Structure formats: structure tokens, C-alpha cells
């Protein structure tokens, strides 16, 4: 956030030094321009919404990056980090299309009556080869498709990283917790 303030201060100094621009902008126009300027700087920050329980609850077999079909208010909410994928999963429909189910994208504050449904099914975009491979693996074995994280790439497009995963048993989860505790204790001993 301090980077944004530094950029704004530099811009304000430029405006005050340049009398031509300063005289042409009234105070209302300056405020509008500054809000647009700060919004552009905020868009450059990295968005990374993670599913923190995925690696604890599942063995990850393979990963894929998919596009996601979103409306205008949905992408704006994602850019504000107002989404959750902790309880979501992916499934195929009858036409062999992949959808993400139970993904929560909060309502956009300024969306009024054009807002989206928070827990709607959203279509994922993958190649035909990737879709056929995923559907074969899901039908043959007891694997599921789970989302790992949502991010925005360099072009400003929202992408979702999904994984083909197998659920862990309770004793596997206990073993993971035990290994973490042992590792933590060894790190403490090394430091002292």
C-alpha cells in the first residue's frame, strides 16, 4: 500500500509543478482521476485465493490450469479477494463439460440488481484432450477433481488451478500431523 501512496505523491507533485495541468483540472476532476489512478495500481497486485485444506485432505496426482467463465461482477469480487474455494469440487455434466460446484464468490458491493449468484456452477475451460483424460481418470478410479487456487495471470484473466486427487484416510492425516510435529521439534533443536 505504501507503494501506491508513493506513486500518488509523485503524481501530485507533478500536477503542482505543471501549472497548465493544474489550472485545467478542478478539484472534482482531480479526485476522479486520482481514484482511477489508485484503482489501476490496485489491479496490479497479485490475487491468489488458495484452498488450504486440499493438500491435507487429498493426495495430489496431477495438476491442470483452467480458464473460468465469469460475469463482470464475479471478476470484480475476485479482484477484491472476496472468493472461497475451500468447500468446492469439480464435476462433469452430460455434455462432457467440466463445472466447478460450491465455489463461493461474494456479491459485489457496487453491483446493485446486476449482481451474480454467490454459489452458482461455473464452467471451466480446458482443451478436449485434457477434458477426456480427466473424465477417464474420474470414471475409472475413485479420483476427484478439486480446485487448488485461483489467480489472475499477466493479461488480467482469472485462472484456476485444479488437481486430480485421491482422498486421504484418517490414519494418513494423522501421519502427516505427526511428521509435521517431528520436523518442527527437530528445527527447534537445531536452532538451540
Q: Where are the domains of the chain?
A: 2-43, 48-171
pTM: 0.69
Model confidence band, residue 72 (pLDDT cutoffs 50, 70, 90) = confident
- In this prediction, residue 29 carries a pLDDT of 62
Count other C-beta atoms under 10 Å from residue 61's C-beta. 12
The CATH code of the domain at 48-171 is 2.40.280.10
Model confidence band, residue 17 (pLDDT cutoffs 50, 70, 90) = very low
Model confidence band, residue 3 (pLDDT cutoffs 50, 70, 90) = low
Angle among Cα 150, 155, 160 to the nearest 5 degrees reads 15
Residues 6+ apart with CB under 8 A from 176: 56, 168
Q: Say whether 158 sits in a helix, a strand or coil.
A: strand
Angle among Cα 140, 141, 147 to the nearest 5 degrees reads 110
Amino acid at each position: 500500500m505504501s507503494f501506491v501512496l508513493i506513486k500518488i505523491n509523485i503524481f501530485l507533485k507533478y500536477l503542482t509543478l505543471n501549472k497548465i495541468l493544474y489550472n485545467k483540472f478542478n478539484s472534482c476532476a482531480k479526485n476522479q482521476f486520482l481514484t482511477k489512478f489508485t484503482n489501476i495500481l490496485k489491479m496490479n497486485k497479485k490475487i491468489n485465493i488458495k484452498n488450504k485444506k486440499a493438500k491435507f485432505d487429498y493426495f495430489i496426482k496431477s495438476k491442470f490450469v483452467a480458464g473460468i467463465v465469469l460475469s463482470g461482477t464475479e471478476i470484480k469480487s475476485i479482484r477484491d479477494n472476496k472468493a472461497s474455494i475451500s468447500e468446492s469440487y469439480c464435476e462433469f455434466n452430460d455434455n462432457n463439460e467440466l463445472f466447478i460446484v460450491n465455489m463461493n464468490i461474494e456479491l459485489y458491493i457496487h453491483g446493485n440488481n446486476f449482481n451474480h449468484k454467490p454459489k452458482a456452477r461455473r464452467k471451466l475451460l480446458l482443451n478436449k484432450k485434457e477434458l477426456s483424460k480427466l473424465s477417464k481418470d474420474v470414471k475409472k478410479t475413485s479420483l476427484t477433481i478439486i480446485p487448488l487456487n485461483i489467480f489472475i495471470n499477466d493479461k488480467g484473466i482469472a485462472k484456476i488451478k485444479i488437481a486430480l486427487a485421491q482422498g486421504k484416510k484418517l490414519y494418513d492425516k494423522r501421519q502427516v500431523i505427526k511428521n509435521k510435529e517431528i520436523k518442527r521439534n527437530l528445527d527447534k533443536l537445531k536452532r538451540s
